[in-house]
Structure 1
């Protein structure tokens, strides 16, 4: 029995060391939207499954027999205080239907890239006018799961430092089932 206890104690530091090597992020972090490098504050919210981005004038349309989304980003670049405004057209990845106290909200979801720390992550973002929110970018559990650990007591533990050789974590559609779904998707 003593041997089993000693074995357990020997194993503990190894697992703690492996855990310590994972990046730690606070509940609010600086991030950049890629490829533009626009710095925005991101709220890491473990209560949300899908990440959300502040988008305006959202419109769905057909392009080459596929559904696309046209929208406008209008964000304050935290690095220089300037307004970044850009119209984007991206393929619709999926639609998200959320039920809340105000009824059903149907949102388009697109794939976009965000830099946190020294890595670029291609993630799902639901598009929504977040003008009344404190943070233009909300990162949900799907994204947080790729980042590392979340320290809910801290903020701004990392700086976005993604150069042209930054590693890219591409979106993996096979991960969908691991997270379940926040509501129905149509």
Structure 2
């Protein structure tokens, strides 16, 4: 069995567990395959596609550049996102420490992508998650949430969309990032 088929089967199995309410989810919440999420601290509401076929979450990023700060690897990037509530386009330059580098293998070959930690509100909880940086301007959804994130969001119902609004005020629960054994994928 090829590595591609193995990864595809693993993604399908994880998706079935989530959809069936398996042990992969810590919450009894049910989410649709597209949800509204809020990118923190900018408070920009975006459409996020929940994708059990992807391991690592991804966000639309442009002008990606690596640099060194105080001996550490950092990444500078720009996002240009439409706020789903206001319709305004928000452009922001962001600098974050490089968490790791992700190698993506596909039909077009291999691609190296920087991964950073960002905060995202779903429902009334803020999650600190890994996001690979990629130009997603040609995609329908600027944010894709992979299995690492889905595993603690709740159950996935692929027949539903927009099951809740992102409502994270100052009293929102915060779930800090926890390193995974698979962080070297």
Does TM, normalized by the shorter one, top 0.5?
yes
Q: Once the 2 structures are TM-superposed, how far is the Cα of residue 28 of structure 1 from its aligned partner?
A: 0.2
- Equivalent residue number for residue 177 of structure 2: 171
| C-alpha distance in structure 1 between counterparts of 2:141 and 2:52, whole Å | 15
Query: Whole-Å Cα distance in 2 between the matches of residues 53 and 146 of structure 1?
Result: 19
Query: What is the Cα-based RMSD across aligned positions, in Å?
Result: 1.5
1:135 counterpart (141, 159, 167) = 141
Residue 146 of structure 1 and its aligned partner are, at CA, apart by: 1.3
Q: Which has the larger radius of gyration?
A: 1
Deviation, 1:36, is 1.2
* Distance in 1 of aligned mates of 2:73 and 2:31: 35
Equivalent residue for 1:51?
A: 57
Query: Which of the two has greater helix per residue?
Result: 1
So what's the TM-score if we normalise by structure 2? 0.84
Aligned to 1:40: 46
Task: Please state if 1:157 is matched with 2:163.
Answer: yes
1:115 maps onto 2:121 in alignment: yes
Q: 2 CA distance for matches of 1:35 and 1:79?
A: 16
Aligned length: 161
What SS class does the counterpart of residue 143 from structure 1 fall into?
helix
Q: What residue is the counterpart of 1:22 in the other structure?
A: 28
> SS at the partner of 1:67?
strand
Offset of residue 97 of structure 1: 0.6
Partner of 1:103: 109
Map of 2:89 onto structure 1: 83
